């Protein structure tokens, strides 16, 4: 099973990231933070690393970029407590303990700045256009969230359903500490609403009706109390307020809230109040945000293409090969 998701997404709050939440615990893990300009080959490097690690039987999780789902923001090798990230804005990070908890992989040294000076005007314009378009996209997403009708639910009903799911499907209580990772299983992107449902476990429960999010919240609290580790997915329309999915780590179960933006299948449980249909205005606002993101991506591609002309990709390949070798050494010594 190939697990793919978004650590960050475009939301009413702007670009919102849960990247620190999904990465290995830096008390025990190790992270390689790749730093480089647009067009420097960070995503290509990570795809090559992923292919080699998977060939060696290493479980690999793919973190896609919400600004361009064909690009990667990172890789996680959960069993090895290793990660590789694109650590440039808007998700820039540095190792807390360099050499102990992580290392910086520097691609800026492969860049020849003297080849860029004549492009300053077009690069400045492209960046400004891209930023303005994303500001518009965030505004449209915010408008969509405001238009959505409020949901109401009977707390007794939602708690009863959560208790029944816990009793029927949750594994026995563990003395382990619960590990919780926050993420987005779907995102509003230049390619439309994108998700990766193939990475979900075979056993799925679909909650239909008003109050599904409350059930997910209750299941998360129950899992924590029982020492069960899990991933929890949020809606990009409500990135902190509305959990939409819970996926247990060591037990093949996902519980999903029915959502027009994330169509799902599974064993269905119906709540008393049906889910209200999204007004047309919601879809119109989301479509406008997608259009703005498409135009923003065009300007970003322009920036990438210019920076690519100033990169020494032979040096980038050497750095990528060394990073792959380091990861394989850690894997073989684990």
- 301 vs 28, residue with greater confidence: 301
Mean pLDDT of the chain: 94
Backbone conformation region of residue 81, classed left if phi is above 0, alpha if psi is from -120 to 50, else beta: left
Backbone angles phi, psi at 239, to 5 degrees: -70, -15
pLDDT at 102 over 70: yes
pLDDT at 151 over 90: no
Helix extents (H) in 108-241? 120-147, 155-169, 212-225
Quote the CA–CA distance of 288 and 269 in Å, as a whole number: 33
- Whole-angstrom CA distances from 3 to 62, 175, 185, 191 are 6, 27, 10, 20
Burial label for 36, CB within 10 Å (0-12, 13-18, 19+), is buried
* Mean pLDDT computed over 55-81: 96
Tens of pLDDT, residue by residue over 174-206, are: 888 899 999 999 999 999 999 999 899 999 999
Quote the CA–CA distance of 100 and 111 in Å, as a whole number: 27
Backbone angles phi, psi at 317, to 5 degrees: -65, -40
* Structure confidence at residue 77 (pLDDT): 96
Q: For residues 258-273, b (16+ Cβ closer than 10 Å) or e, as one string?
A: bbebbebebeebebee
The angle, 0 to 180 degrees and rounded to 10, between the axes of the packed helices 313-333 and 42-55 is 30
Band of pLDDT at residue 1, cut at 50, 70 and 90: low
pLDDT at 221 over 90: yes
Tens of pLDDT, residue by residue over 6-62, are: 999 999 999 999 999 999 887 789 999 999 999 999 999 999 999 999 999 999 999
* Mean pLDDT computed over 54-72: 96
- 277 vs 74, residue with greater confidence: 74
Beta bridge partners of 247: 231, 254
Torsion angle, alpha carbons of 258, 261, 266, 271, to 10: 10
* Mean pLDDT computed over 119-145: 97
* Structure confidence at residue 296 (pLDDT): 98
Quote the CA–CA distance of 69 and 134 in Å, as a whole number: 16
């Amino acid at each position: 099973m190939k697990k793919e998701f978004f650590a960050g997404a475009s939301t009413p709050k702007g670009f919102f990231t849960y990247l620190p939440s999904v990465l290995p615990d830096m008390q025990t893990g190790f992270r390689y933070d790749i730093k480089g300009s647009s067009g420097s080959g960070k995503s290509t490097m990570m795809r090559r690393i992923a292919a080699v690690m998977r060939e060696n039987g290493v479980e690999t999780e793919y973190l896609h970029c919400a600004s361009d789902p064909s690009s990667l923001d990172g890789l996680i090798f959960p069993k090895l407590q290793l990660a590789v990230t694109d650590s440039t804005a808007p998700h820039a990070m540095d190792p807390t303990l360099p050499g102990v908890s992580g290392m910086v992989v520097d691609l800026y040294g492969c860049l020849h700045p003297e080849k860029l000076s004549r492009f300053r005007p077009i690069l400045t314009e492209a960046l400004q256009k891209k930023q303005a378009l994303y500001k518009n996209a965030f505004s449209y997403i915010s408008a969509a969230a405001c238009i959505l009708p409020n949901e109401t639910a009977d707390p007794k009903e939602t708690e009863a359903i959560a208790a029944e799911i816990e009793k029927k499907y949750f594994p026995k209580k563990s003395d382990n500490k619960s590990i919780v990772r926050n993420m987005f299983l779907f995102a509003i992107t230049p390619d439309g609403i994108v998700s990766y449902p193939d990475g979900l476990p075979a056993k799925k429960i679909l909650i239909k009706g008003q109050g599904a999010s409350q059930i997910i919240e209750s299941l998360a609290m129950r899992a924590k109390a029982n020492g069960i580790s899990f991933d929890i997915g949020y809606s990009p329309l409500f990135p902190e307020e509305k959990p939409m999915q819970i996926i247990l780590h060591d037990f093949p179960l996902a519980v999903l809230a029915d959502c027009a933006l994330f169509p799902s299948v599974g064993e269905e449980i119906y709540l008393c109040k049906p889910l209200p249909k999204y007004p047309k205005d919601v879809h119109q606002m989301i479509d406008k945000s997608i259009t703005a993101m498409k135009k923003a991506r065009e300007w970003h591609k322009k920036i990438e293409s210019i920076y690519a002309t100033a990169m020494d990709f032979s040096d980038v390949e050497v750095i990528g090969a060394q990073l792959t070798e380091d990861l394989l050494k850690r894997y073989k010594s684990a």
